[in-house]
Structure 1
């Protein structure tokens, strides 16, 4: 049914639970797992004086966090014998980057975690999972 499954990860607990579900599905269907972590470089793009230093600090921290998330999911996939590819996407708008990568890499399913933000947190922080559900042209499995 599924030949390629996209797993976006930020290394969080919910992303780790989504990784377990994605790896299980990939193993059952003989699918390849496409593991991605998105780094949005825009937050510091327009800072005046000192912006380059803030951007460098942010990018270093974001790259380290992405590596942790990717390495964790990749090691679980490897242990389960599931083939995988992993990528860091450096794009503005994580939901857009996730759905575009899913389409361009031929994924038939997106499996992702959701922090379950509600109320003011959802308004201020947004919900990447909700935006992916809106933008995706393929099925999305959201793990809480």
Structure 2
């Protein structure tokens, strides 16, 4: 039924549940597993001389963290005998990167975690999962 399953990761504990679910689904369906970590762009400002961290240092750190996140998913998949393609991208909005990546890779299922924010936190911080659901035409499995 599913041929390519995308599981975005932010490295959080709750994402581990989504990763495990994606691995099991990929095994059952004989699907290819893809993982994605989205890096934040450097917060450039008009006063670049007083940046707390030099741009390249920030970018290198973001890449290191993103790589560690997708490697953790790759290792979890490998432990279950499953291959996993890893990707990292830089984007201002994680949900847009997830949607774009799912389309580019022809994913037919996205498995992602929901942090379960409600009330004011949900209003102020938004829900990446909700935005992904709103902007894709393929199934999205939300894992809590």
- Fold equivalence (TM over 0.5): yes
Number of residue equivalences: 143
- Structure-1-length-normalised TM-score: 0.90
In 2, distance between residues paired with 1:52 and 1:87?
Answer: 28
Which consecutive unaligned segments of at least 5 residues does structure 2 have?
none
**Cα pair 1:129 1:142 within 8 Å, conserved:** yes
**Cα pair 2:74 2:83 within 8 Å, conserved:** no
In 2, distance between residues paired with 1:122 and 1:60?
Answer: 30
What is the aligned partner in structure 1 of residue 45 from structure 2?
Answer: 46
What is the aligned partner in structure 1 of residue 74 from structure 2?
Answer: 74
1:75-90 paired onto structure 2 within 5 Å: 75-90=75-90
**Structure 1 residues 46-93: Cα deviation after superposition (integer angstroms, max 9, x where no partner):** 352323835445434432332232111110111112121001011221
> SS at the partner of 1:53?
coil
**Cα pair 2:7 2:35 within 8 Å, conserved:** yes
After the TM superposition, list the runs of 4 or more consecutive aligned residues in structure 1 that deviate by more than 6 angstroms.
none
In 1, distance between residues paired with 2:131 and 2:54?
Answer: 28
In 1, distance between residues paired with 2:121 and 2:54?
Answer: 25
What is the aligned partner in structure 2 of residue 63 from structure 1?
Answer: 63
- Structure-2-length-normalised TM-score: 0.90
What is the aligned partner in structure 2 of residue 111 from structure 1?
Answer: 111
In 1, distance between residues paired with 2:52 and 2:103?
Answer: 33
**Structure 1 residues 11-51: Cα deviation after superposition (integer angstroms, max 9, x where no partner):** 10111110000000000000111100001205x12352323
